[in-house]
Amino acid sequence: MAKWVYAFGGGTAEGRSEMKNLLGGKGANLAEMANMGIPVPPGFTVTTEVCTYYYDNQQTYPAELKTQVEAAVVQIERIMDCKFGDEKNPLLLSVRSGARASMPGMMDTVLNLGLNDISVEGLAAKSGDPRFAFDSYRRFIQMYSSVVLGIEHHHFEAILDTIKTDRGLKLDTDLTAADWRKVVAAYKEMVAKELGRPFPQNVNDQLWGAVGAVFGSWMNQRAITYRRLHEIPADWGTAVNVQAMVFGNMGEDCATGVAFTRNPSTGINEFYGEYLINAQGEDVVAGIRTPQYLTTEARKTAGADLPAMEEVMPKVFNELAAIRAKLEEHFTDMQDIEFTVQKDKLWMLQTRTGKRTAAAALKIAIDLAKDGVITKEKAIQRIEPNALDHLLHPTLDPKAARNVLARGLPASPGAASGRVVFTAQDAEAWAGRGEKVILVRVETSPEDIGGMHVSQGILTSRGGMTSHAAVVARGMGRACVAGAGEVRIDTRAKTMFSRGHEVKEGDVITLDGSTGEVMLGAVPTVQPELTGDFGTLMGWVDEIRTLKVRANAETPLDARTARRFGAEGIGLCRTEHMFFHPERIIAVREMIMATDEAGRRHALAKIEPYQKNDFVELFEIMAGLPVTVRLLDPPLHEFLPKNEAEMADVARAAGTDVSALRSRNTELHETNPMLGHRGCRLGISYPEIYEMQARAIFEAAVEVSKKSGVTVTPEVMIPLVCTKKEFDLLKEVIDGAAREVFSQRGMTLPYMVGTMIELPRAALVAGKIAETASFFSFGTNDLTQTTLGMSRDDSGPFIEVYRQKGIFEHDPFATLDQEGVGEMVQIAAERGRKTRPDLKLGICGEHGGDPASITFCQKVGLNYVSCSPYRVPIARLAAAQAALGARSDTTA
Ligand code: ADP
Ligand code: MG
Ligand code: MG
């Protein structure tokens, strides 16, 4: 008989933490904690396979499920010594979702299930606390009605508000048993009216209704959006966890809380969390009451008045601190935990690998490795390469003036400036127009994640360090200031007020997620330090990786940035970018517009000194590291004069008249410039262009080698080759220039001549091209464009459709299409190396900085990847991970 249900509690469990695929992260870890002897309320997990079955079979369950669930409930009853649905001694249950990867707040939880008009009286009598019993019942009616029956929250809020106002009460905890009885009666009446039938009283109907709602929530819009943003497949399914309730709302010796075993914002090894006395479930994160700190130290640092848990319940706090240590040791990573204290007894309700900022991820991994808890290799595998991006970008200049508008909690670090918007929809609309936005909300909810994703930063006026906004922002790497209570937000009027200022939609503000400050206007930024933990990690990474990492750079600034980030050379210096300078562009246009060789040579002579100087600067900065210079590959249309004034400038320089230029301009117009007279085709038509460039390269190499004493070894690269003959003709031009310069300067330097592989034909005939080419660099932008027959500049809209329809998993211009373009790369690498075993191979397309593509480059045996300077550290880390094999995914 198939096993659909796994029990846990009472010191044992049928599941283990390795069974996340079957039990979901929450269920697997509840089982693991039970096995470790940590107090966990008994319960059971209905597996993700039931979810799959449910969707494969018209939302029905496997036949054996009912009996297995019944048996598991009986086991909970035995351990808890009470009975589900009993009049006098009722067992209450929580029903929670739990997928393989954690999807915080994505699906809803039902607490206090098993209460009805009769059992609530039983609970009141048994506990001697009717206030608690009716508080639990009203929570249950509200949660069940909204999650399972689809009745909106505001109906409940309106009723509660009316009763509170009538009684002149402010806090939920001020309501008496009699008040809650009234609330319950009003809730039930409203539900019956909305629903057309009474609130379900049969506890088994309640249970199956909740189970069905959890499975149903797997396909709700916010779960679908979350999965899309985090690339979680829909067929994973969710598990359902049914667990005995423990009560944090039975009085002053009760509490509920959430914590991280280390600081998830900075990574510092300190116990970090919040709790509330006499509260239940989501009260801590919902922002209804101000949560209190766990440790005395954190309370003092924050200057908070309300006492810390360490002060109020020291004994339970110490137990919790011991569990903190035990969990970290066991899971060897920072944990995100949830707990409840019922009458001074501690219960753990959840543990999972905690989400953290990039800075915290780095610090935690390095600290754990230094403490010997994990290996260096493991530390390297734990860090998502793309997350490093957040550490490489500027932070607010500490010396800049700050016009502070408000202060909130430093919920997620980073500096962000942008225009204020007040709804997630507006954030998406404004961002769609290319605006940088800051999303300002009283508090965020899972419906807002699309808007949070496109924002630079998030500001809320309510909620703590573990509020939805804070958790999601840290996960997404967005700056966040949470709970800035002094900010008054009027969402409808789209304005906010603070410290006497009014900020309207579209006004610019700056957030400092590390201090919690909110500033008016944009505050200038500074470059980050690349030492400390970052330096340590990069050192470890460099010991392990075998792929070299170069940068795509042509300006001195880019080259210096690349070196600062640890680039081991330049993999692509695009010479056409050097031609755009205002003082050169006229000569460049003159060259393009010239109708004969003499005219071109005349213009080229003007450009040559500039070219040489460019290369001198680059070679000096790179100090002997390899530099691959790609000869001119101009999209001609970008260089042509665009108006009469530019036309006149060129005519003057060339000594011709404007009308002649105009007809030449028409002649040069191309229907499809990307497939036109570009790349080496231009060099074939007008060899004098490449001859000038080659001369400038060798002149510069000789000059810098002489001056610095370090030998410069230029790598000259010919673009857009598709036949061996093209390559050979142009190689002869380059060799000729080298001979000429070396004999004139009395110095010979080593150099290489190679080609881009960016056309399918070149990949296919790579074996022949390698007879004379000594290196290949895969230009995967053009290679993707030409292999797929899709224009990179025009494909955006339909690639999005292709992704939505599942035709493409990724944008092929961002992540290498391994099946198609990858095959081209592999063929070229194999055929090239067969001819020339020491053929040097690299990649210089956008893909050179994409971690998944880098793994592929390692597999195919490339020597190096080349990417934009800011991605160099990311590529170094990705290369180390590729050398180590798959990245370890520790997400619970
Ligand atoms: P999420 O995935 O949003 O964290 P959970 O399933 O963890 O949702 O439930 C949310 C909250 O409900 C928990 O933090 C906890 O406070 C409360 N809760 C869940 N199960 C129980 C239980 N068995 N007893 C008491 N409280 C519970
Ligand atoms: Mg929840
Ligand atoms: Mg939880």
Kindly state if the Cβ of 466 falls inside 6 Å of ligand 1.
no
Asked which of 158-167, 234-243, 574-583, 670-679 is least confident by mean pLDDT, the reply is 574-583
Which atom in ligand 1 lies closest to the alpha carbon of residue 106?
3
Element (H, E) at 320: helix 314-331
Report the amino acid identity of residue 615: F
CA of 281 to the centre of ligand 1 (A): 5
Burial class of 432 by CB neighbour count within 10 A (0 to 12, 13 to 18, 19+): exposed
**Tokens linked to 226:** 């979350």
Cβ 105 under 6 angstroms from ligand 1: yes
Residue closest to 282 by CA, chosen among 94, 83, 544: 94
| Predicted local confidence at residue 130, as pLDDT | 95
Question: 104 C-alpha to center of ligand 3: Å?
Answer: 7
What separation in Å is there between the alpha carbon of 710 and the centre of ligand 2?
Answer: 63
* Token pair 């010991």: residue: 543
Q: State residue 3 phi and psi, 5-degree precision.
A: -100, 115
The predicted pLDDT at position 748 comes to 97
Q: Which residue has the tokens 């180590």?
A: 884
What is the atom index within ligand 1 of the atom nearest the CA of 244?
23
Does ligand 1 have an atom closer than 6 angstroms to the CB of 338?
yes
Give the relative orientation of helices 821-835 and 780-788 as an angle to the nearest 10 degrees.
120
Q: Three-state secondary structure along 710-751?
A: CCCCEEEEECCCCCHHHHHHHHHHHHHHHHHHHHHHCCCCCC
Instruction: Determine the atom of ligand 1 nearest the C-alpha atom of 246.
Output: 24
Which residue is associated with the tokens 């690299």? 842
- Extract the runs of DSSP E, i.e. beta strands, from 10-109: 12-13, 43-46, 83-84, 90-91, 93-99
Counting Cβ atoms within 10 Å, is residue 590 exposed (0-12), middle (13-18) or buried (19+)? Answer: buried
Question: Does ligand 1 lie within 6 Å of residue 30's CB atom?
Answer: no
Closest atom, ligand 1, to C-alpha of 102: 2
Q: Is the pLDDT of residue 531 over 50?
A: yes
Q: Is residue 890 very low, low, confident or very high in pLDDT (cuts 50, 70, 90)? A: very low
Q: What pLDDT is stored for residue 555 in this prediction?
A: 87
**For residue 350, how far is its CA from the centre of ligand 3 (angstroms)?**
6
Tell whether ligand 1 has an atom less than 6 A from the beta carbon of residue 283: no
446 lines ligand 1 (CB under 6 A): no
* For range 342-351, the mean pLDDT: 96
Q: How many CA atoms lie within 13 A of 710 on its CB side?
A: 12
Take residue 360 and report the two structure tokens written for it.
């915290």
- pLDDT for 518 beyond 60: yes
**Residues with Cβ within 5 Å of ion ligand 2?**
109
Q: Which of 82, 254, 680, 844 is catalytic?
A: 844
* Ligand nearest the Cα atom of residue 93: 1
pTM above 0.75, yes or no: yes
Whether the per-residue pLDDT at 34 is higher than 70: the answer is yes
pLDDT above 70 as % of the chain:
98
Q: Is 282 a pocket residue for ligand 1 (Cβ < 6 Å)?
A: yes
Q: Model confidence at 674, in pLDDT bands (50, 70, 90)?
A: confident
Strand partners, 46: 5, 240
Q: State which of 94, 100, 142, 445 you would mutate to test the pocket of ligand 1, scoring each by most atoms of that ligand within 8 A of its C-beta.
A: 94
- How do residues 387-436 score in pLDDT, each as one tens digit? 887 787 678 887 888 999 999 988 888 899 999 999 999 999 999 999 99
The CA 275 to ligand 1 mean position distance, Å, reads: 14
Residue closest to 268 by CA, chosen among 334, 320, 326, 319: 334
Give, using CA atoms, the residue closest to atom 9 of ligand 1.
109
Grade residue 205 by pLDDT with cuts at 50, 70 and 90.
Answer: very high
Higher local confidence (pLDDT), 289 or 13: 13
Asked if the model's pLDDT at residue 134 lies above 60, the reply is: yes
Cβ atoms of residues 99 and 238 within 8 Å = yes
For residue 851, CA distances in Å to 362, 417, 814, 872 come to 17, 28, 10, 11
**pLDDT score recorded for residue 888:** 46
Alpha carbon of 30 to ligand 1 centroid (Å): 12
Running DSSP on this structure, what letter comes out for residue 355?
A: P
- Whole-angstrom distance, CA of residue 19 vs CA of residue 28: 6
* Rounded Cα distance, 460 and 441, in Å: 5
What is the Cα Rg of the chain in Å? 33
d(CA 616, CA 11): 72
pLDDT over 90, % of the chain: 73
Strand, coil or helix: 509: strand
Is 51 in contact with 9 (CB distance < 8 Å)?
Answer: no
User: Is residue 886 over pLDDT 70?
Assistant: no
In tens, the pLDDT along 232-242 reads 888 899 999 99
Is 602 labeled as catalytic in the residue annotation? no
Confidence tier at 26 by pLDDT (50, 70, 90): very high
Contact 4, 870 (CB under 8 A): no
- Residue with more model confidence, 286 or 276: 276
- Tell which one of 349, 449, 891 to mutate to probe ligand 1, the residue whose CB is within 8 A of the most ligand atoms: 349
Cβ of 256 less than 6 Å from ligand 1? yes
- Give me 138's structure tokens: 């009203």
602-660 pLDDT, tens digit per residue, is 999 999 999 999 999 999 999 999 999 999 997 677 778 878 888 888 888 888 888 88
- The pLDDT, as a whole number, for residue 756 is 97
CB of 9 sitting under 6 A from ligand 1? no
**Ligand 3 centroid from CA 189, angstroms:** 31
Sign of the Cα torsion 577, 583, 585, 589 reads: negative
Verify whether ligand 1 is closer than 6 Å to residue 349 (CB atom): yes
Question: Is the minimum distance from the CB of 111 to ligand 1 under 6 angstroms?
Answer: yes
- For residue 256, the ligand 1 atom closest to its alpha carbon is 16
Tens digits of residue pLDDT in 348-385? 999 999 989 888 999 999 999 999 999 999 999 999 99
281 lines ligand 1 (CB under 6 A): yes
Strands 488-490 and 479-482: unpaired
- Does residue 844 have an active-site annotation? yes
Cβ(489)–Cβ(442) below 8 Å? yes
Across the chain, mean pLDDT equals 92
Q: For 103-129, what is each residue's pLDDT tens digit?
A: 765 567 899 999 999 999 999 999 999
What spatial distance separates the first Cα and last Cα of the chain, rounded to whole Å? 29
**503 membership: H or E segment, kind and range:** strand 501-504
Nearest ligand, CA 112: 1
In order of 34, 366, 405, 415, the CA distances from 396 in angstroms are 46, 25, 16, 6
Helix (H, G, I), strand (E, B) or coil at 885: coil
> 714 - beta bridge partners?
627
- Determine the atom of ligand 1 nearest the C-alpha atom of 285: 14
Helices then strands, counting H and E runs in the chain, come out as 36, 34
Nearest atom (ligand 1) to Cα of 258: 14
Eight-class DSSP state of 843? E
Could you say which of 51, 254, 390, 468 is catalytic?
Answer: 468
Q: What is the pLDDT of residue 892?
A: 31
By the 8 A CB rule, do 54 and 90 touch? no
User: CA 410, CA 852: separation in Å to the nearest integer?
Assistant: 33
882 or 869: whose pLDDT is higher?
A: 882
Q: Whose CA is nearest to atom 6 of ligand 1?
A: 96
- Residue 889 confidence (pLDDT) above 60: no
Q: Give the DSSP H or E segment for 465.
A: none
* Integer Cα distance of 411 and 686 in angstroms: 60
Whether the per-residue pLDDT at 511 is higher than 50: the answer is yes
Closest ligand to C-alpha of residue 285 is: 1
Choose one of 26, 100, 109 to mutate for the ligand 1 pocket test, by most ligand atoms within 8 angstroms of C-beta: 109
Question: What length is written for the chain?
Answer: 892
Write out pLDDT tens, residues 827-875: 999 999 999 999 999 999 889 999 999 999 999 999 999 998 888 999 9
Q: How far is the CA of 349 from the centre of ligand 1 (A)?
A: 6
Whether the CB of 41 sits within 6 Å of ligand 1: yes
Please tell me the residue having the least CA distance from ligand 1 atom 16.
281
CA of 780 to the centre of ligand 3 (A): 43
Is the Cβ atom of 356 under 6 angstroms away from ligand 1?
Answer: no
What is the whole-number distance in angstroms between the Cα of residue 106 and the centre of ligand 2? 7
Report the distance separating Cα 658 and Cα 271, nearest Å: 75
Nearest CA to ligand 1 atom 26: 281
Higher pLDDT, 657 or 315: 315
CA-280 nearest atom, ligand 1: 16
Q: How far apart are CA 642 and CA 92, in angstroms?
A: 76
pLDDT band, residue 475 (cuts 50/70/90): low
Query: What local confidence, expressed as pLDDT, does residue 830 receive?
Result: 98
On whether the CB atoms of residues 163 and 138 are closer than 8 A, the answer is no
What is the token pair recorded at 83? 């009975």
Q: What is the pLDDT of residue 844?
A: 94
Q: How far is CA 423 from CA 513, 799, 832, in A?
A: 20, 28, 55
The tokens 């009993």 sit on which residue?
86
Give CA separation, 234 vs 24, 57, 102, 220, 543, in Å.
14, 16, 14, 11, 38
Q: What is the 3-state secondary structure (H, E, C) of 761-780?
A: HHHHCHHHHCCCCCEEEECH
Nearest residue to 250 (alpha-carbon basis) of 117, 95, 136, 118: 136
Q: Which of the listed residues 211, 337, 350 should we mutate to test ligand 1's pocket, taking the one with most ligand atoms within 8 A of CB?
A: 350
Q: How confident is the model at residue 181 (pLDDT cuts 50, 70, 90)?
A: very high
CB of 45 within 6 A of ligand 1: the answer is no
Out of 96, 282, 335, give the residue to mutate to test ligand 1, the one with the largest number of ligand atoms within 8 Å of its CB: 96
Which tokens is 609 given? 């000194």
Nearest atom, ligand 1, residue 96 CA: 6
